């Protein structure tokens, strides 16, 4: 089965090789054929009329938007008017929003067609997509393994060719880690670059909407339409949005990439280190200069994150009590039992764990000892990056510690699960843009490389990744699930 890039689909639509309706039907058929093995989608078959409208528009006039008729998937954390939005939770199992998230509305305005809502860790809390109320998502490279989380459904859908591109969210690595585990490209933009309005909140100072795609070029095409200031979002930043796709071919010779010694301390497996070394050699051939740097406080990222994020989660999820919306239990005798039962049944184990942790660190007597101290360390991490970017353009490092692990392997060990984000969390704490792109395989499992840039320098990330993908073909590798289906055919 051939996977189509967004760029290829644009050309196919423009040349009348396929209609938007035929394209929608093609991907709907793929979802029906393959998603029983992956469980990547929660809701499907939701916008066929939009595809037919795109075709009608084409008949009247040439395609006036780069995204007209382009199908995409969206993580089930983005509100979609009239379409169920569950956040992977029993608490919101039947919630139908009356409005669209800003990024969804912008894509709709540009003519993009929503294929379905993808599975995710409950309320975006997890690194393996095993905390979803709707069941685990499976990795198309090995269905016994995790696709990563929390945007694992979006990652699996793109990797398996069930959608050409998908929206995800990244709070501590939830786009980049799944991208690495599934062999695709994943971008977390600068905090404030894409509107958070209509994106159900987990940790408000960390969450950011982003993209999972087959290539940097596809990512650039979608980011142009998604990004930009939104008066409905108080955290949105009024910063000009470049036409990213128009500058991907800019010369990168002489760019300086920093290699943090803290990221290369010997803790990675030798095979992964060899892939990174090979990638560095490829970048050097493109004219990139490398320099060793230090991020001395980066080792505090994980403990800092797991104080700040649960604290914000505790506050954001307080609204889910079954009164206005959310799961509501029946035959309750008093108000206290009503609240307690709704939240006990409506939330899964990991969400409850983080709510309890967050409530604890915000409580009287512990706020200064934990939350306030974590915010101070967060500033130290931010300052480390600021100093590093005085002498380098980009920072390079691993995306994950290992390749995708087996489902069930870490679900009962929260600390081990949390350490999956050890290389990605720092970018969220500092609000920096970061991208993961595939760099090769070990024992038939994909690995990714992470690039981090200064604030609002997404173009640098896309430019470098695009140039890398022009001289390598790791991003074109087909998952085992698709190869097996071709053999059967």
CATH of the domain at 58: 3.90.1300.10
- Structural domain containing residue 170: 6-251+456-488
DSSP single-letter state for residue 391? T
How much is the pLDDT for 55? 58
How much is the pLDDT for 480? 79
174 catalytically annotated: yes
150 catalytically annotated: yes
Residue 433, domain member (yes or no): no
Residue 263, domain member (yes or no): no
Residue 258, domain member (yes or no): no
Residue 175, domain member (yes or no): yes
Listed in sequence order, the residues at least 6 apart from 223 whose beta carbon sits closer than 8 Å to its beta carbon are: 187, 189, 194, 211, 241, 244, 458, 462
HSE (side-chain half, CA atoms, 13 Å) at 216: 29
DSSP single-letter state for residue 298? G
Main-chain phi, psi angles of 148, to 5 degrees: 90, 175
pTM of the predicted structure, to 2 decimals: 0.95
Cα 46 to the chain's mean position, in Å?
A: 22
314 catalytically annotated: no
Residue 434, domain member (yes or no): no
Q: Please tell me whether residue 136 adopts helix, strand or coil conformation.
A: coil
Nearest of 360, 179, 362, 383 to residue 300 by alpha carbon: 383
Identify the active-site residue in 128, 150, 151, 225: 150
How much is the pLDDT for 488? 52
Q: Which residue has the tokens 């803290």?
A: 262
Q: Please tell me whether residue 32 adopts helix, strand or coil conformation.
A: helix
Residue 405, domain member (yes or no): no
pLDDT digits (tens, 9 = 90+) for 321-347: 988 888 998 888 888 899 999 999 999
How much is the pLDDT for 48? 57
How much is the pLDDT for 63? 43
Residue 27, domain member (yes or no): yes
Residue 58, domain member (yes or no): yes
How much is the pLDDT for 61? 40
Q: How many folded domains does the chain comprise?
A: 1
CA distance 272 to 190: 27
Identify the active-site residue in 19, 28, 174, 245: 174
User: Could you tell me if 220 and 245 are in contact, meaning their C-beta atoms sit under 8 angstroms apart?
Assistant: yes
Q: In 392-405, which positions are buried (b, 16+ CB within 10 angstroms) versus exposed (e)?
A: bbbbbbbbbbebbb
What stretches in the chain show pLDDT beneath 70?
47-64, 483-489
Strands (E), 345-489: 394-398, 434-442, 445-452
Identify the active-site residue in 19, 28, 54, 75: 75
């Amino acid at each position: 089965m051939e996977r189509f890039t967004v760029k290829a689909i644009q050309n196919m639509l423009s040349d009348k090789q396929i209609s938007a309706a035929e394209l929608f039907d093609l991907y709907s058929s793929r979802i029906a054929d393959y998603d029983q093995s992956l469980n990547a989608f929660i809701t499907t078959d939701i916008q066929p009329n939009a595809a037919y409208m795109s075709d009608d528009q084409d008949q009247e006039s040439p395609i006036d938007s780069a995204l007209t008729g382009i199908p995409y998937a969206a993580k089930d954390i983005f509100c979609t008017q009239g379409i169920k939005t569950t956040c992977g939770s029993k608490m919101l199992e039947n919630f139908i929003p009356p409005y669209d998230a800003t990024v969804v509305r912008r894509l709709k305005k540009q003519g993009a067609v929503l294929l379905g809502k993808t599975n995710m860790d409950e309320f975006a809390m997890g690194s393996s997509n095993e905390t979803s109320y709707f069941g685990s998502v499976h990795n198309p490279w090995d269905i016994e393994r995790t696709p990563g989380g929390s945007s694992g459904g979006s990652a699996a859908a793109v990797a398996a060719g069930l959608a050409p591109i998908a929206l995800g969210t990244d709070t501590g690595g939830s786009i980049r880690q799944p991208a690495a585990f599934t062999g695709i490209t994943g971008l977390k933009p600068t905090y404030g670059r894409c509107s958070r309005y209509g994106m159900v909140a987990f940790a408000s100072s960390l969450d950011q909407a982003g993209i999972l795609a087959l290539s940097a070029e596809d990512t650039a095409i979608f980011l142009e339409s998604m990004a930009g200031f939104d008066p409905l979002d108080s955290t949105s930043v009024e910063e000009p949005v470049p036409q990213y796709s128009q500058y991907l071919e800019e010369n990168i010779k002489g760019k300086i990439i920093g290699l943090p010694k803290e990221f290369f301390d010997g803790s990675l497996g030798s095979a992964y280190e060899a892939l990174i070394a090979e990638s560095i050699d490829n970048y050097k051939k493109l004219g990139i200069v490398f320099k060793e740097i230090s991020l001395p406080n980066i080792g505090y990222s994980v403990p800092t994150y797991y104080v700040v994020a649960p604290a914000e989660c505790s506050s954001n999820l307080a609204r889910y009590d079954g009164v206005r919306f959310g799961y509501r239990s029946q035959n309750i005798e008093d108000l206290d039992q009503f609240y307690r039962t709704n939240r006990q049944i409506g939330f899964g184990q990991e969400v409850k764990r983080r709510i309890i942790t967050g409530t604890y660190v915000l409580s009287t007597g512990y706020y200064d000892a934990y939350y306030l101290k974590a915010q101070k360390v967060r500033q130290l991490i931010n300052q480390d990056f600021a100093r590093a970017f005085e002498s380098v353009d980009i920072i390079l490092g691993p995306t994950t510690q290992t390749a995708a692990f087996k489902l069930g392997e870490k679900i009962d060990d929260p600390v081990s699960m949390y350490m999956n984000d050890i290389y990605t969390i720092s970018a969220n704490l500092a609000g920096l843009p970061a991208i993961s792109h595939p760099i090769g395989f070990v024992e038939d499992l994909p690995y990714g490389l992470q690039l981090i840039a200064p604030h609002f320098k997404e173009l640098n990330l896309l430019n470098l990744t695009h140039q890398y993908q022009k001289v390598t073909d790791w991003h074109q590798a087909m998952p085992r699930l698709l190869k097996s289906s071709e053999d059967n055919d």
